[in-house]
Structures are given as C-alpha cells and as structure tokens.
Structure 1
Amino acid sequence: MSLEPEDFPLVTDKSRELLKEKQVVDYEAHRIEFVRWLIHLGKNPDLAEGYGRDTIRATAYRTDQFARQVWTEQEDGYTASFTHDHADAYMTELLYSDNSATHKANTQKALKRLFKWRAHEKNGQLWEPERTFSNMSSDTGPREFLTIEERKQIREAALDYGSIPSYSSVSTEDRDAWKAHLAQRFGKPKSEVTPEDWDRANSWKFTSMTWASLDCGLRPIEVERAKVSWVDVENSVLRIPKEDSAKNEGNWVVALSDRTADALERWLGEREQYEKYDNTDTLWLTREGNPYQTQSLRRLLVKLCEIAGIPTESRKMSWYALRHSTGTAMTHERDLAAAKAQLRHKSEQTTMKYDQAPVEDRREALDRMG
C-alpha cells in the first residue's frame, strides 16, 4: 500500500478558519511530518512498520480536533508545540462530554500516537494520561453499529460527498480542471459541460438518502423500494404503505428531523430535472438508472466513513449499521416503544395503534441523536 501525507486530512477547513495564513503553512508542515511518520514508522519504529490507512485517517482527524481545542482555549491561540497539560485538559473535558466511550478511548489513542511521534522525532516525552478510557467493546456486541458521534460524522460526510466548489467561486484555470472532472463524471465532452452540470454535481441525492436512512433506519430493501409518494415534507414524515413495507406488516408513519425533511424537499425539486426519473416514482436511482441495492449502499457507506475519518478495520460495515444505530440511540433518547415504531419492527405487541411515542416526540429525539 503506497500512501502519502496528502492522502489524509492535514489542515481541515475548520482549522483554516482559526489560523492566519502563515500559521496554516507552519501547521501543515507539522502535520506532514506527523502523518509521514504514522505511515512509515508509527506502529513500530524499530521495525519501520506504519499504521493502516483507516487508523492514520482517524488519527489525523482526532488530533486536528485536539489542536483546534487547544488554540481556542489558550490566550496565545496558535501553537504546534502541544504539551502533556494540553492533552490532560482535553481528555478531562472529553470525560464529561456526551461522546461515546469508544470515541473517548480512540481519541486518547490518537493523542498517544501524537506524543509518541514527538518523543521519537522531536526529543519529546511519551504521554502517560492521568486517566485511561476503555472503549467497552465486546465481540458479543453488534459489529454493524455506529456511535452517536459517528452518526453525526456520517451526516456531515453526506453533505461533503460528491460536492465541488461553486461555478462562480473558482478561477478560470481551476474551472477548466473541474470541467474535465465533470466531463469524465457525467460521460460527456468537456466542451459540453455547463453551469447546470455544476449544480448537478452538488446533488442532494446522497444527502437525502443517507439522512433519511439515519432518521428512519431504512433497510437496503426499503431504500430500493422508496417512492416519491412516501415523502410528506409538510409534516416531516415518511408514509410507508403496507405493500412497500419490508415486513408487510401495515402502514407506517415514520418521523423525520426537520433537516432531513428539508434535504428531501431539495432533492425532490432537483430530481425533476433528470430524464431518468421521468417514468418512475422511485425516489433514488444510481447513475445507471437502477435502484440502490445492498452492495451499492455498502460502497457508499464505506466512502462516507472514509470522508468522516471513521475506521472500518475489523468492522462489518453495511447499510444496516445506520439502522442499528438508530434503534439503539432512539431507545436511549426516548424508549423501546419509540424505537420499535421508528424502525417498524415486527412485533405482535407493538403496532402503530399502540405506539406510545408520538411522531413529534420521535422527531425531537432525532434532533438530539444527530
């Protein structure tokens, strides 16, 4: 596997917003050194053994979050000389946060790698945390699972996936390069690429599909069967009729967050512009004009995890990970009845007419769940 520092998040947009131009240059140089060390030496410096792609990406994101927190907390602002006190203060704050135990443990591992690099390359000292975190993982638990923090990261990644700069914001030279990219993406000559193709590239399709699946725990078969007629934007719900339900149990009214309803409304407006939707009520189609199925959805989720910096090593990732996380988070935020209603579980005791969790209550829980 041939990796370069540029393959990973060096200076994120959020960090650029906090830094001055020369600080960005300095921070980027610092990050290139660190990531290069992770690639070639990080796991075992004595044997010149580096980490895998997912571990490096996650470490880069988490240490960047740590850096931003240090800059905002201290009076002098920017520094690339992070101390043990910085790390201990960050972990203490994280201890009392709502983040999952897994996120806390993985953040601590990322910071230990940062100080391990400083010890090997910068004459620094290894960091021994004041307190340690366990990720509470178990082989008996569901492997197709996203934490609440990871749900939020996937939601943000779905905004970024496939997006490009706006037509008016790039230089003539860059615009020509983006035209070549869009020509290849849409299978047309570069001379025929129009500003409308730029709008098309910033599609709401993937965002609406991912967000609806996060809210409703849509099974792959339900993504495949989803229809325009399901979407009730005005009331922020999906109305899934019995004949379309995966379990064929009854008619379902499933809560959507207002953000998701807005994304679906934007997609419905955009969808009308594409000829391949002219003779079908199918809500989402692939580039080839086919409904999304298990494998295409899995590939999309893996790509979203890559964008979000979520490690997928030793994890069985499929679209069901979204569904499982929705059920767990809804049960935590509301109760089991709400989870069963939201996920449309097959149950003789739980049907729509016995639902103890109104749509409004479930929508409030979705906002908290991310």
Structure 2
Amino acid sequence: MTIEKLPDCVPVVHDSAHSELDMLQMREYRDHRLEVLSWLWQEGKDPDRAEGYSDIVVENTSYRLSKIYRWIWENEGYTTVLNHDHADAIVEKLRTRGTADENKSQYVKALQRYFGWRAHEKGAEEWEPEETFSPGQQTHHARDYFTLDERKLLRNATLNYASLPNYNDATPEERDRWKIYLAQRLEKPKNEVTPEDWEDAVSWKLPSIVAVSLDGGLRPVEVRRARVQWVDLQNAVLRIPKEEDSKATGGGENWTVSLREDTTQKLEWWLAERAARPKYDSHDELIALSLA
C-alpha cells in the first residue's frame, strides 16, 4: 500500500499527544497513525475492491482512536500496538460510562476498523466486541446468547451454506452430488432440481439475515416484519419502528440497531441481489417472502 497525504480534515496526530510523548515516541506514533489512517482512507471499507472510507469517517475514526490510545497509555504506558485485551477493556470502560450508546458504538467501530487494518496488513486476528451499543436500547450482551466463538461459527456457516460452485463450471459428478444436497435442502425430488434452483441457492439472503439478527438480537417475528425501508446503509443501522419492536427494546421509542461493518456490507449485497429478483417486485419485505 502506498501511503499518501491524508485529507486536510484528518489529523495524523492530535495536539494532546504532543504533551504525552517524547520525540522518538512521537515519530513512531506518527508513522504508525499515518499507516493506519491511510489504509482506512484508501481501502479499509473493502480491501478487495480498494475502496476506502469517506473523509468524515476517517476523521471521526482518527479522533476516537487517539482517545483510545491515551486511555491505554494512562493505564499501561506507551504503545502503538492494541491487542484484544486492550479492546475488551475499552468496551468495559464504555459500558460503565454515562454517555449515549450512539457515541459508545462509534468507539467500538473505530476499534473494529483498527483490527481490520491489523488483520489485513499484519496478519493479526480480527476482533469482535463482547458487547455492542445500540442507540435507544439497553446495552446488548452478546455473550448472554452466543459465545464469541459460536457467533463466528454461525456467520461462517451461513457463508458455507450459501456457497455452491458455478453450475457451468461443475463436472457432471459434482452436479449430481450438489443436486442431492439441493433436493434435501429444498425438499423436492432430485430430478426436479433445476439450474434456477442452483442459482437461487447462491445468495446473500441467509448471511445477511443471520448477521443482522446477531447484531440486534432480533426475534423471528422481527425478521418476518423487517422492511427494506428500515435499512440505513449510510449510517450502518437498522431503524425499527416502535410498533414493530416485539420486546419494547426501545423503551417506547423507535429502536435503532447498530450494525457491524461486515453486516452492513452483506446487507448492501443482499439489497442489490433482491432488486434483481422478480419475486420481490412490488413487495417491501426485506427477507421474509422466502426464507428457504
């Protein structure tokens, strides 16, 4: 990756860091920050497509990461390497603070972007928070429902379930084996499985529904009720009207669910796919016309 000059609105080092670091630390910290922020700006949103985040997202991430570093320095001393224990400690600190959940969720997203850079550029492991914060709802404890390992397995399983080899590239023997699988999955005779069934089985529908359900703790009834207009891709949230909130999570207000970046991407791909499927024409259901 070529490190280029960042937009003027994105400070590499905030003024507060100058008073806390010596000259050598400042040089190392500046180089580190420039590498992270340049990656986010150039390709962090979708590295495979070399698509970066907007100037404002990188600016906000820069500010929040700067505060996160200072929290770590105050407790453990200077470092430029954040690990999972650091991130978990930050989430715990956020949990006990009285600030709005929307602000807390932005710190969590900043950490996830940082670990996205670590994973892509340094070969480190991704990080998933043990708690997420959604505006207008109580803090959601992911570990109360599935462990972190179980959540990762669920997300990966949906990708495997939704993935088949290209029909035209498969050998006759491979097609025969996959037709047996599809016949069982679709509950129809093997000789009635068509290329259209094959194409329909390769979809972002299931990965997106599972990812959204994990992020928001959605019940089946909320999945069935979900509408396209609930999705706000730009802000990475699902806006659920209070009358559709089966758990009254929003406390009498509309319920806003913060979505992970990978969840938002899956939803974006599913919405594009959905728009190309004629059976969804004239319908606003996000998923529930067909969950099979």
The structure that has the greater radius of gyration is: 1
Q: Same fold (TM over 0.5)?
A: no
Q: State the TM-score, normalized to the length of structure 2.
A: 0.44
* Structure with larger RCO (C-alpha < 8 A, sep 6+): 1
Q: State the TM-score, normalized to the length of structure 1.
A: 0.35
